[in-house]
């Protein structure tokens, strides 16, 4: 089975602008940003999507959200930010490797489109 785009970035086969990295995840700037700050928080262990996660993934899933808070604090996003996880084609999932979008530095609308 071929590697996903994110697995190739994690393996340093494809360059990326990395904002944060630790043993469980990598945070990088989206190449097609939808906000002035648009980061992707990606687990190093491939989980295809939220609906494919299992109980053993619980710690990694929690770590992604905690990392969002750490990075938001580092980037001084006190005015707020939005976290988005797409699951499946109707949600515009473009890479079958779970990731959290962190969007900030613009007013978000509700409901999201």
**DSSP class per residue in 71-90:** HHHHTT-TT-EEEE---SGG
- Residue 33, helix vs strand vs coil: coil
The radius of gyration of the chain's CA atoms, rounded to the nearest angstrom, is: 14
Q: Does the active-site annotation cover 99? A: yes
Long-range contacts formed by 60-67: CB under 8 A, 24+ apart: 60/24, 60/25, 63/24, 63/25, 64/25, 64/100, 65/100, 67/20, 67/22, 67/24, 67/25, 67/27, 67/41
Q: Point out the catalytic residue in the list 38, 97, 99, 101.
A: 99
Q: Which residues are catalytic, by number?
A: 99
């Amino acid at each position: 089975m071929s590697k996903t785009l994110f697995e190739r970035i994690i393996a340093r086969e494809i360059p990326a602008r990395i904002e944060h990295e630790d043993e469980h995840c990598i945070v990088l700037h989206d190449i097609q940003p939808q906000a002035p700050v648009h980061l992707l928080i990606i687990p190093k262990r491939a989980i295809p999507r939220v609906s494919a996660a299992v109980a053993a993934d619980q710690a990694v899933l929690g770590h992604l959200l905690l990392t969002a808070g750490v990075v938001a604090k580092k980037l001084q996003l006190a005015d707020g930010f939005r976290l988005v996880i797409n699951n499946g084609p109707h949600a515009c999932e473009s890479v079958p490797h779970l990731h959290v979008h962190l969007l900030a530095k613009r007013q978000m609308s509700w409901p999201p489109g």
